[in-house]
Structure 1
Amino acid sequence: MQFHPSRSAALEQLQAFVDNHLSLYARDRNFDFGPDQRTNTSCLSPYVTHGILSENEIIKLSLKKFSYTKIEKFIQEVLWRIYWKGWLERRPSVWTDFINDLKYLKPDYESDKNLKAAMNGNTDIDCFNDWVHELKETGYLHNHTRMWFSSIWIFTLNLPWQLGAEFFMKYLKDGDPASNTLSWRWTAGVQTKGKHYLAQEWNIKKFTNGRYEKIKLNENATPVVSDKEYIQIDPDFTNSQITNDQTLIIFDNQLSFEHSDFKDTEFKNIMLIQNTNLTRTIELDDELVKFKRGLIEDQQQRLQDHIETEIRDISYLKNLGLTDKVALYPGVGENLDYCLHNQINLSFLYRRLDQTTNPYCKKGFFNFKNYIPKIISKMNG
């Protein structure tokens, strides 16, 4: 599976999936047939993570061809990421604790043979080894496989979930602070306390279409224990005032400005921000860095004939006067961390979709699901 860093490639992938494979998504989505057979899932997540495609675009195009009841499961999966992001915005300390945990854990595991074997795909578990190599080579794993992978990492290889979440973020082209961190917490049993996910040999065999069998797993492990409770906040997603003499700052999570809520707003110029490994806590693989850079350059090319657009490293913001600047909100994660740690006090603009959905992220996803028809109606409003 190859991901070309452009909006045109994303649109082509979306159209092909909707036309040819969406109708069977609910039936086939849990099967991982291998990296060369990905037609049973959309493979759009790398583009959604970077805002190349919006959830609105995906859902609207899908509903033009199929009824809501026909593709309800697909729409739910598209909005899972929105839910995770909203949940984390209400509990940002979960992300902060994850980053801090890494700082304490990594020195203790620096020479751990078990960790090295896992990261090199050199364990006694063939399927896990294959997934490590696939992750490194493609920057992608099937969602069901991510669940198996994380369960094996935590409960069979006895490694901290935090190091596994970091490993994913290093390579995944769709690596998202909310989805990735909270999914690993869910597998471990600390997201929904006492409820963990245990990979089972029969399940892997069935949903890899018999590619793997006789897998030695710990299928009786108990959940990871955490007594930490997080106080929920009510984030203020009120947009800052906009004037036509402002510079708009865009991070790497909203790279389709010309299709955004603010596309009709006149800005003086646009500044696209890249966050390289020099300014990140979690070091990214070189191929992922290139992918992100390619997406940023693609956005610049699409904009530069209409508005002055430049690319800058995030460190440039430290010495930049901010009185005439406004930014599309980057969300909880490394970009926002850098701004906060360096006292870069930006004024933010928020997506209507996030403003609409965040109040529904107070509880679990099953509660969130009840509001999906209302969310869709507001997309069309």
Structure 2
Amino acid sequence: MMKLFEKIMMSMRMKSVLFFFLSCMVLSNCVEPFDFETEDFESILVINATITNELKNQQLVLSRTYRFEEDGPLKEQNAEVKILDDHDNEYLFNETSPGIYTSIEAFNAELGKEYRLSIKTENGKSYISAVATLPQESAIDNLYPKRMFNDDDLEGVGILIDSFDPTGNSVYYRYEYEETYRIVASLWVPRDLRDVLIGNETLMIETIEYTPRPIEERVCYNTRVSNEIIITNTTTFTEDRVTEFPVKFINAEDISVADRYSILVRQYVQSREANQFYETLNRFSQSESFFSQVQSGFIAGNIISESNTGENVLGFFDVSSVSSKRIFFDRSDLISDLPQFSPGCDRIIPVLREEETIENYNIRLLGFIQAEEFRFFEEYRNSNPIDGFFAFVRRGCGDCTEFGQSIVPDFWID
């Protein structure tokens, strides 16, 4: 969710820049280069804070908005953070990495208790949230993949979810996911080329030799975390039932479904107020057009400054019940007949160019061997420079570490 707040702040900044360029187009006289600097900048505390009914070390993130010319959000460090309940319990947090605060003790939110977030920043300003309570828990009934088309008429795999609360008390749902996928280098070979120096103190010659290629470059894994708002509610339904709700759509040509795929989905049951906040946040993040009817402005949450009631604070203190489920599937289970991801695996064969000397050809050949973007694939024996001695492929075809890491996740099932 932190990445989403960053996206929104970037959207606000990009609209300002777009307005500047549109003005230039109208005036037709913006021809001089310029260094853009943000004016009237307001440093706003950004709070990403959700505690759940899971017994764990709860975590929240503090940062600040940043100027257009800056690289990214500023981490809010050295703050005093705690959560209070109405039974006089205090849960203290330590800063475990810049801007990330983790509770010293594991705890879980409980039904019937009221919770508040309290923050005191390094500059002495204090912030307090409204009271929040834990909503009814609702378990995920079913999580499953389905071959389908999306709204852009692209074919691929939809990740769908079913959920039902017979008490009718859940109503407002938010989803996050963590997807992990396997990558297999289709043109991995067990040997590689490397350049070496041979000779003695008076004469050194650069040549090439074969060397074993690490097996770790053949099969890799990568993980991506959701960075969009995924919400739904059952307020217009006759029962509190979520049916075939699309958590995610994956284009058939996406690398994540090139081999084997897994997704862990977390379902949050949240309050009506939290749902309204995330709905507003979602509308703002999707207003990509400068001429959109969704006007930019400040998004108020349930956290205020005790030091200055007029200060803007971006964020929401949320207490949610959580249910999670993980699934696995192979590409062959659903979409084996559709076009799939390819990094472009045509063979690249360095050959002797017209009027190129053998010395220059050898230098260029060594360049392919040393280059990070290529991997050796095969040798052509009894060949010559005109036809080429060696074939190379792009790194992603022969080395999976272009796209992931070779460490097998603990939860992975083949």
Question: TM-score per shorter chain, which class?
Answer: under 0.3
Give TM-score, length-normalised by structure 2.
Answer: 0.22
Specify which structure has the higher proportion of strand: 2
Report which of the two structures shows the higher radius of gyration computed on alpha carbons.
Answer: 2
Give TM-score, length-normalised by structure 1.
Answer: 0.23
